Amino acid sequence: MNDNSQVVPPVGTQSDISAYARQGFGTPLPLKAPFGLLIIDFVNGFADPAVFGGGNIPQAIAQTRQLLAQARARGWPVAHSRIVFSDDDADSNIFCLKVPGMLALKEGSHDSAIVSALAPAVGEYVVRKSTPSAFFGTMLAPWLAQRGVKTLLVAGCVTSGCVRASVVDAMQSGFRPLVVSDCCGDRALGPHEANLFDMSQKYAAVMPMDSAMDAVDTLSNNA
């Protein structure tokens, strides 16, 4: 089954849409079972507008509770990611030069902990990372491959940062990304909308949760 990406082009790009179509971008991505779910960086610090949060992140977390419940009910592999730096900052990197506050996200800190509403269950993989992508320098790709995942549903924050980086790396690792748009959040809505559109044109299927689950259930039932 091909995806039916549902993304409204952000304001200011409408005049460019014909160029995308003319050049062959936005071709529907064929989805393929089995499925898995990756939830990116829904940690306390990104849920708090006084730390790294804001925008539509709280709404995305609330919607992801439903997505996570549906994934668990279907027995899918589920992975979560969180940004974690060592207590002595020995793994500080260029990401931290751009955003020094990230170094506050330590293993035992409240802000680096996954929000309680999405707490990982036994058997769900938690990726600890120090860069935007959940794939870069981690064991996520082999973990998913060992479980046979072909299409990877993606939720998390922020859309313009760690979600996008992880989606690109998922595609480059041989997985078919399906970005669940209303389960992704960003502290700024402009970058959120622009990146959903751009990912839908180049790297992934993009659709809201209800449409995504309808698509994957139809494919699973016809398998």
The whole-angstrom distance between residue 132's C-alpha and the CA centroid of its chain comes to 11
- Which is the catalytic residue, given 157, 162, 183, 184? 162
Contact present, 71 and 37 (Cβ < 8 Å): yes
Answer yes or no: 157 catalytic.
no
Q: Indicate which residues carry an active-site annotation.
A: 162
